[in-house]
Structure 1
Amino acid sequence: MVLVVSEEVREAIDARRPVVALESTIIAHGLPRPRNLQVALELEDVVRREGAVPATIAVLDGRPHVGLDKEQLERVANEEGIRKLGHRDLPPAVAAGVSGATTVSATAQLAALAGVRVFATGGLGGVHREWTVTQDESADLGLLARTRITVVCAGVKSILDVPATLQRLETLGVTVAGYRTDRFPGFYLCDSGHPVDWTLHSPEQVADVMRAQDALAAPESALIVANPVPREKQLDPGLHARVLADALRACEEEGITGQAVTPFLLDHLVRHTDGASLSANLAAVRGNVRLAAHIAAAWTTG
């Protein structure tokens, strides 16, 4: 089998101990060096402190790995030419023997394949602004519609069309629940301005929903647990609105289109908020990782 599951992760799965999947795109493409490696190690440490086993996922030399050791994390953080891989990229990456960091869709697919049920990330992809013109929608949504995994996230990136993304998730049959909130979070913001239909108040309640998914033999779709960044650590909403509006204008003026739009907007936010957007991003990720570990523990002990 092409999938490589680390001994630590395999033993935890076999013993029904809690495991949390982590993506690697944030390491290779989301943060500058050397902070990227520091954050990767910190997030794994957060999972361990909460009593779970971290399973950072990446493709190395054409082999998908679920669970990385320190040397492998260093490769993802520092090696030149690490590609960004969505789930559609996995077959050619494996065939070509290349190395790549996994996005939400690829991480979710490989985690589910390995038998890991809980995955923590920052924010999901979604429907892009001006979708009626560009037809640009993240591959995350379709993959989550057919993959049984619980994703703890801080909503979708606020640069996207949030209401259209929520509508698309509803159409695809993906369950979305706010964690201790009836509002859908906006990645950098604790409230995107849009409601959610369901609120879950504890890791045990999340695990109960996961069990109900299985008991009902429901379609193999994900459960999204939308966990807002703490209010005191969110990006100032007024600053966010001003800088995002400027970023969207700059994007149009410079003719940025397609896959280049998201990194352009995110970079603009980091530079024009003096790094405050990055701080809010990392605060959200840390909270999501911690909550995911608690959910994984509730899932495996119930």
Structure 2
Amino acid sequence: MTNMISYSTEVQEAIEQKKPLVALESTIISHGMPYPQNVETAREVEQIVRDNGAVPATIALMDGQIKIGLSDEELELLGNSPDVAKVSRRDIGQLLATKKIGATTVAATMICAELAGIRVFATGGIGGVHRGAEATMDISADLEELSNTGVAVVCAGAKSILDIGLTLEYLETKGVPVIGYQTDEMPAFYTRHSGFPLSYGSQTTEELAAILKAQWSLGLKGGAVIANPIPQEHALDKDFIDGIIEQAMAEAKANGINGKDVTPFLLGKVKELTEGKSLVANIELVKHNAKVGAELAASYGAL
């Protein structure tokens, strides 16, 4: 296994010095934003992690290896290459064997982070149960991974294009803790409000770290969702974004778009219909999650 995992110099030094690490996904770079904004945002997010007491470990698949931490050149390659594969659990073996470039989703990043011994992962939002899943069975692999893999995922909730109620039901069935950070409501990515209350909340990263340590010390399998709302000043109005999503969903249905093509279509359409406001919100919530993720990693490391 060690032949398939390589560490950047910064990450290797952090491991040796027992510094806290925060995993970062790469799909947001290759598939989430246009170039060069994607690479600029990735670098900013990494710096935010450093500024808040931890070391960033952006994860991707390159040259037949799982890269834990990327150089500036590798970030640029990832953000500017036209044929980067989107990698979930099922794709990891194929991408390593063929030595193609792959950007890790939430699920794949969790797997790679656990292999590297990293307990905290900051991202934008998790996948979930899609609207109409009772007919399509379209459920993100992120949810299954959360039930299996011992990594805490700091996110702005589930993307608001999903069925958030069913997503929470699925996570409850799988025994995955969903803990609101300074909120008692599940955030919905672009907006702080979804209308779905959470059973647990925490006001400090120290308490979050204690919860995670207790869970994993008992040998309980799986991760946790740390639901961290987008900052108020960057949040979109709930009614506004809900209307935009309904319009985007109707266009997807009218154009026969389904399966794995739905999410990128909807996110692109939302960006278009919000005149770019959703992209700004996306960038700001990722930065905020990186800050909280770094603070959580530091708090967990202190235990």
TM-score, normalised to structure 2's length? 0.97
Offset at 1:10?
Answer: 2.5
Q: Distance in 2 between matches of 1:39 and 1:214?
A: 32
For residues 153-196 of structure 1, the C-alpha deviation after alignment (integer angstroms, 9 at most, x for no partner) is 00000000100000000111111100011100000110111011
Residue 255 of structure 1 aligns to which amino acid in structure 2?
G
Cα contact 2:151–2:224 (8 A) shared by 1: yes
1:256-271 maps to which residues of 2 (within 5 A)? 256-271=257-272
1:1-302 maps to which residues of 2 (within 5 A)? 1=2, 2-218=4-220, 220-302=221-303
Unaligned 5+ segments in structure 1 are none
For residues 95-131 of structure 1, the C-alpha deviation after alignment (integer angstroms, 9 at most, x for no partner) is 1111111110111100110001100000000001111
**Count of aligned pairs between the two proteins:** 301
For residues 266-299 of structure 1, the C-alpha deviation after alignment (integer angstroms, 9 at most, x for no partner) is 1110000011111111111111000000001111
Q: Distance in 2 between matches of 1:214 and 1:15?
A: 23
Residue 286 of structure 1 aligns to which amino acid in structure 2?
K
Cα contact 2:150–2:216 (8 A) shared by 1: no
TM-score, normalised to structure 1's length? 0.97
Q: Distance in 1 between matches of 2:216 and 2:267?
A: 37
The 3-state SS of whatever aligns with 1:57 is strand
Cα contact 2:128–2:167 (8 A) shared by 1: yes
Offset at 1:63?
Answer: 1.1
Offset at 1:13?
Answer: 2.4
Q: Distance in 2 between matches of 1:68 and 1:232?
A: 31
Cα contact 1:13–1:115 (8 A) shared by 2: no
Q: Distance in 2 between matches of 1:215 and 1:239?
A: 43
Identity, in percent, stands at: 46
Offset at 1:16?
Answer: 2.1
The 3-state SS of whatever aligns with 1:30 is coil
Offset at 1:6?
Answer: 2.0
Cα contact 2:187–2:194 (8 A) shared by 1: yes
Cα contact 1:61–1:99 (8 A) shared by 2: yes
The 3-state SS of whatever aligns with 1:160 is coil
Offset at 1:65?
Answer: 0.3
The 3-state SS of whatever aligns with 2:195 is strand
Cα contact 1:22–1:57 (8 A) shared by 2: yes
Cα contact 2:158–2:188 (8 A) shared by 1: yes
For residues 28-72 of structure 1, the C-alpha deviation after alignment (integer angstroms, 9 at most, x for no partner) is 111111111111111111111112110000001221101011111
Cα contact 1:37–1:77 (8 A) shared by 2: yes
The 3-state SS of whatever aligns with 2:183 is coil
Offset at 1:87?
Answer: 1.6
Cα contact 1:9–1:67 (8 A) shared by 2: yes
